[in-house]
């Protein structure tokens, strides 16, 4: 099953997942079978116990973030983003590689051989992905948006794009 969403073709049945699988996951969430990892304004994250996490949308903000992360994952080949395996047909659920949390952004600085967020923001690869995928460059300077997979920093929370911010979050400058 495919559908055009935000100008991209969304494919729901790849990597062996399908809507029956997501119904099973939904049932397991209701039964409390997955360990809670954390939450944001739009999503709750659960550990699936198999090296993957589930990002479950709580509202339209979360659905928009799931769609953006899926869109970016389909288009990207930089290796900077945690891999996404599938998204449910209703966009509520997204399955991603599990990463170890990073508590201090200095781990990311060390990997990229920089000494500050200002230097991090100047890296060509980060500027390029920020522009290409409509990301907020300052979000890449927040430790909570990064994780470690096989000892290497990867971006684990990348659904909060400029478009999502404009549509779903009020900002001081615009009042929107």
Residue 167 has pLDDT above 90, yes or no: yes
Looking at the fold, whether 31 and 78 belong to one and the same domain comes out as: yes
pLDDT band at 171 (very low <50, low <70, confident <90, very high): low
Paired residues of 9 in beta bridges: 4
Q: What pTM, to 2 d.p., does this model score?
A: 0.86
CA gap 134, 124 in Å, rounded: 15
Write down the pLDDT at residue 16: 45
Provide the domain limits for residue 131. Answer: 101-161
> Domain check: are 86 and 154 in the same one?
no
How far are the Cα atoms of 9, 43, 72 from residue 5, in angstroms, in the given order? 6, 20, 13
User: In this structure, is residue 166 part of a structural domain?
Assistant: no
Q: Is residue 141 one of the residues assigned to a domain?
A: yes
Last residue of a domain, one of 53, 73, 99: 99
Number of domains in the chain: 2
Structure tokens at 24: 């099973």
Sequence-separated (6 or more) residues with CB below 8 Å from residue 8: 71, 74, 75
Other CB atoms within a 10 A radius of the CB of residue 158 amount to 24
Q: Is the pLDDT of residue 85 over 90?
A: yes
């Amino acid at each position: 099953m495919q559908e055009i969403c935000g100008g991209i073709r969304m494919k729901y049945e790849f990597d062996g997942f399908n809507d029956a699988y997501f119904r099973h996951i939904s049932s397991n969430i209701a039964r409390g079978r997955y360990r809670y990892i954390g939450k944001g304004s739009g999503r709750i994250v659960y550990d699936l116990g198999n090296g993957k996490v589930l990002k479950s949308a709580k509202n339209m903000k979360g659905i928009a973030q799931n769609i953006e992360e899926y869109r970016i994952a389909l288009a990207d080949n930089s290796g900077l983003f945690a891999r996404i395996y599938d998204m449910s047909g209703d966009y509520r659920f997204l399955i991603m590689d599990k990463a170890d949390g990073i508590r201090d952004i200095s781990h990311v600085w060390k990997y990229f051989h920089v000494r500050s967020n200002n230097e991090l923001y100047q890296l060509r690869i980060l500027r390029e992905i920020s522009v290409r995928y409509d990301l907020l460059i300052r979000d890449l300077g927040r430790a909570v948006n990064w994780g470690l997979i096989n000892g290497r920093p990867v971006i684990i929370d990348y659904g909060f794009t400029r478009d999502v911010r404009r549509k779903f979050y009020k900002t001081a400058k615009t009042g929107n």
